[in-house]
Amino acid sequence: TTMSTLVVLHTFLIFSPIFATSAWSVNNFLMTGPKAYLTYSASVAVGAQSGIEECKYQFTWERWNCPEHTIQLASQKGLRSATRETSFVHAVSSAGVMYTLTKNCSMGDFDNCGCDESRNGKVGGRGWVWGGCSDNVEFGERISKLFVDGLETGQDARALMNLHNNEAGRLAVKSTMKRTCKCHGVSGSCSVQTCWLQLADFRDIGNHLKVKHDQALKLEMDKKKIRSGNSADNKGAIVDIFGSVARTELVFLEDSPDYCLKNGSLALQGTEGRECLQSGKNLSQWEKRSCRRLCIECGLKVEERRIESISSCNCKFHWCCTVKCEQCKHVVTKHYCSKREKPSSNSHPRRKTRGQNR
């Protein structure tokens, strides 16, 4: 139990900006909350990590690529960021925690939890009934909410934004579930089917939330209310604004900074030195345009580099029982964003800023 506590504390301290809280509140929550929470701490840690890994995947070829050290984009006054990117981080992290808790529950990893059999035996539709082992998302949702939402102690606009996006992440887990069925009947006639609900692959949830990120809504409100939202009057007004948005949608309060540029105060590295894709098999249009998005539109040039790599090849099995391989050299062409040569005094290259600075 002590080790589990240390695991989840370590993970939450690393990702504390994700949940927009202080190290003290994480420690306080775990130490003063019900002892049962410690049972789930390892799953929470794994879930938080899976959320960050999915974030990195979804933003691999974006200007902002979910770097761990810049997940919290603090302003000069130390206020937590409330950008479009922050909304995704909260949603996918919350989804990751719920997903892992639900999976572990259905697999019997917790003594007090198992499959959701509440609908078993009931008619679900024409030709099928509920049965089997449905993933217990109600359990995963309840416990993940206690952990993740319990860390948000403020009542200002940023806190409400984080809670809203946390919930959107959990709802994404539920809305992407898939019905799986098994046939019954004489000689495989499939006259009746038994069906249950299963979690989708987490990648499907990530894809779903990425679309929500691209369609995220900016909520306009007085900056003073954002900073001092704990007063009774301001709180009521802010709650009304958030109440007008569907719970499934992501929301943000601030425009994103220019991710093309390096910004020490915001811990942004810019796109110089980033790899991009120009050619290759099975690339999506988004991937094919990554060099334009990361380099050209950020005022940089695309630099081609030929990199030599050595790997095992022509491996053969020898009786008995060894495998011998040759060492083959491969030359791989990669592309990176690099600075343009300094222009002459008479030329003034312009950097394109098509769309948003993502």
Provide the pairing of β-strand 128-130 with 192-198.
parallel
Counting every residue written for the chain, the total comes to 358
Name the most confidently modeled range: 18-22, 29-33, 198-202: 198-202
- 271-303 pLDDT per residue, tens: 999 999 988 788 888 999 999 999 999 999 999
Beta bridge partners of 198: 178
User: 271-338 architecture in CATH?
Assistant: 2-Layer Sandwich (3.30)
Say how far apart CA 133 and CA 122 lie, in whole Å: 14
Q: Which of 252, 164, 165, 170 shows the shortest CA–CA distance to 216?
A: 252
pLDDT, mean of residues 253-272:
91
Structure pTM? 0.79
Say how far apart CA 169 and CA 107 lie, in whole Å: 22
pLDDT, mean of residues 159-165:
92
Name the token pair of 158: 């940023």
Burial 122-144 (b: 16+ CB within 10 A, else e): eebeeebbbbebbbbbebbbebb
Of residues 215 and 311, more confidence is placed in: 215
> Domains of the chain: which residue ranges?
2-117+134-176+201-261, 271-338
- 21-57 pLDDT per residue, tens: 333 333 443 444 455 567 888 899 899 889 999 999 9
- 85-106 pLDDT per residue, tens: 999 999 999 999 999 999 999 9
Beta bridge partners of 184: 192
Question: Which residues have CB under 8 Å from 62's CB, separation 6+?
Answer: 259, 293, 358
Q: How many CB atoms lie within 10 A of CB 232?
A: 6
Q: Which of 234, 252, 221, 263 shows the shortest CA–CA distance to 80?
A: 252
Say how far apart CA 338 and CA 5 lie, in whole Å: 45
